[in-house]
Structure 1
Amino acid sequence: MQGQQLVTALSFRLSSIARSLIQFVGRRIAPEHRARLAVQLARIGAHMDIDSCLQILEKALSEQKLDASQLGRLLSAAFSAADADHLPLDLRKQLLTRACAGLDPADIPDALLEHFSALGGSSHHYSQEGEDILLKRLFGDRRSGFYVDIGAHHATRFSNTFALYRRGWRGINVDATPGSMSSFGLLRPRDVNLELAVSDQTDPLRMHLFREGALNTTNAELADSYVAAGWDKTGEIELRPKTLASIMDEFVPPGINVDLLSVDVEGAELAVLRSGNWDVYAPAVIIIEALSTPFAEMHQDPALRYLLARNYEVRFRLFNSVILARAGADFS
């Protein structure tokens, strides 16, 4: 009888998204609440709009003691399963906003972010210069892969790898800034997250710290230029670095290929690259920062020259970043 009542409620002239939401959520609530939900929906009948539908569904789900994150995931999953592209723009915005309310950014399904982007005719990204959008051009919609992010800075802010993480990838995030791994522990639990410096040097390194953590660097000359430009320097610390090769040996799982290496260490990129084992680990794609290198002189950058000599080709040049791919690499 409860199922029949629910079907009766669904027989009214509702939008496709409302039907999808009711069907999706109706299967996930306890039977004793399902009848009450059906009665409430039947009362509204043909006058149901998307907001009323969502309010009823949220109330029904709240009785299941779901937290905001669980509720948001249910609603967003229902939205993703619906034929939402045919909805009026204002209804799509209402639903997207409601579905994401109360969610941590890491809990918002990728499909919902794509819908948000489509509303404005744009693409969502986390990277500082859109590197992750270009990575999608190379890797497509691959739902698995492995990255190593050196100078990762933050789990989401300016991240070249968070979009891949959301898509199902995993990897290793490394940053020497004190406390930098706290956001990764919360938002990137599948990853290996390491707070340490990377270099080919064995002697301790001195890191210059800035209020804007993305500027932290072991390059003294670059640090001086930041101070001269007005950035607020907060101190210095001494670090004992590890090599890229040793990190990969310890944390890359056996049999796993490294698909992406991202290196953004404010002027110390070459030291990181030289510390790798290129006979064992040759990532398909590499992102490096090439600060203050004019486009016409790009191939004179020491880190770029190092990679070009190892069979890598420049695919994209952004304001500061360069994306290279190994010649003949398979991105599938």
Structure 2
Amino acid sequence: MTPNTYKEIQLANRPEGTPTDSDFNFVEKDIPTIGTNELLLKTLYLSVDLYMRGRMKDQKSYVAPFELNKAITGGVLAEVIESNSDDFKQGDIVTGTLDWAQYNVADAKSVQKVDPSIAPITTRLGILGLTGLTAYFGLLDIGKPQQGETVVVSGAAGAVGSVVGQIAKLKGAHVVGIAGSQDKIDYLINELGFDAAVNYKDDNFKEAFKKAIPNGVDVYFDNVGGEVSDAVIFEINRNARVVLCGAISAYNNPEGDIGPRIQWKFITTSSMMKGFTLGDYAHDFKTGAQDLGKWLQEGKLKYEETIVEGFEKTPEAFLGLFEGSNLGKQLVKVADPEFAKL
């Protein structure tokens, strides 16, 4: 039975440095009545993602910052509880960019129906969703890996990095992952089929990394920035491609990011560095989703999910991203469905 009230998570402060629990407020609100073409949605799972840290800053970017004392938004999987739309019925599973809240009211045009028979519904927030598409377009459009080339991926055990490495293997590349624990190194090599993986926290990281890339670096998919990326960029080959996807090392640095001057390396190797956001490829999402779905059904792609249970643990799950506590996609399970048979 639908309650009369629900809770949402609002941004209470703009964090300086690493966010803390005090930067989030849980606010109780009344469940509103839905209008024409609107849906009442019960949140089943929500996604926590590193890009959200950037939206907590009051600065110009590719997307507007979160507003203070307003709900944080992100990827959500939800069940339709009430519908005033001919396109959706009670029990349908949908996904969209919605509030971090136990319930949402949304325009029917703002969400997409999820078919639970294709794959577990959580894949629509991960490998068959925005993170999988980020890996797909960034690697294939900018990185353009070729047979026999060396592809290096930082943040390789994360939601995006793990997919990047697997797609690079499908394209015949020699794939080297960079991660932050021995368990993740073992996972990349033994489960995902990476050719080599290196722990950036080891004292001999640079030496171990050079041994893992005997033929240099042709493509670097950068999720982390910082000193790790400095080390990789100094090893790029002629005509290398560096794909800038994320810079987790700098997200919580209030002093700003300072590093070596690398322009000369790109000049002398005739190489390219290019950043992107997934919105650049919105016109071609269907193609990417079809390829990812096909590879997943054929068993050519694997995925992991780290799922924290309980809406109240959402901030904890988000903060864990900065400690590398997740393997693969980080999700929060909020509730079980009421009407859907999954």
Scaled by the length of structure 1, what TM-score is found?
0.34
Larger Rg: 1
Give the structure with the larger helix fraction: 1
TM-score (norm 2): 0.34
Q: 1 or 2 for the larger relative contact order (CA 8 Å, sep ≥6)?
A: 2
Q: Which has the higher strand share?
A: 2
